[in-house]
Amino acid sequence: QRGEESSFMESLTAEVAAKGDYRLRVVQTGARIARLNAAVLLTGDASSCDVSTTMVARDSQQLDLHSLIHHSVAAGSSKQQHKNVVADSAECIFKGSIRVDKEAQQTRSSQICRSLLLSKKARVKAMPSLQIQADNVACSHGAAVTELDEREVFYMASRGLD
C-alpha cells in the first residue's frame, strides 16, 4: 500500500502443529504510518518457522513491525531475518521477541535485524529479544545498523543509481 496520508495496520497469528513448517514473507513499502503485528506459535513437536521481513521507508514514513515467535514444545526451530532500508526523515521500528518455554528443550532459534540508513535524518529502532526458560537450546539474536559511506554512494551513482 502506498499513500501520502494513509495508515495501515495488520495483525496475524499462525499456529504450527507437529512437524509443520510455516514461512512468512513480508515487504512493507507503503502508507505514511504502518504497523504489522505478527505472532507464530510453535505448538507441535518439531515444528518450525522461517520469517523474513523487509521494510523500505522514505519521506516521513513510520513503518513498524512487532513480532513474536513462541516455542512451547520440544525440538522446534525458528529463523527470523528482518531488514530495513530507511531514507529521508523516515523511521523503521523492529521489536522482535523469541520466547522459549521450559518444555521447549532442544529448540534452535535465530533472529537478526539489519538496517541501512540512507540519510542523516533516517532513524531505526531495533529491539530484538530472547526470553528463554529452557536450558538445552541454541538461540541467538542481534541487530546491526549501517550507513553508506561516500565511496559506496559514488560507486552506485557511477552505475546510474540515485
Whole-prediction pTM: 0.91
The residues spanned by each domain of the chain are: 7-158
C-alpha cell at 99: 520466547
Looking at every residue in the chain, the average pLDDT score rounds to 95
Looking at residue 1, its pLDDT comes to: 47
pLDDT of 157 over the 50 cut: yes
* Secondary structure class of 157 (helix, strand, coil): helix
Widest pairwise Cα distance in the chain = 55
C-alpha cell at 93: 521500528
List the one residue out of 123, 141, 144 whose CA is nearest residue 131: 141
pLDDT digits (tens, 9 = 90+) for 32-63: 999 999 999 999 999 999 999 999 999 999 99
List Cβ neighbours of 162 (8 Å cut-off, separation of 6 or more). Answer: none
Opening angle at CA 101, ends 96 and 107, nearest 5: 80
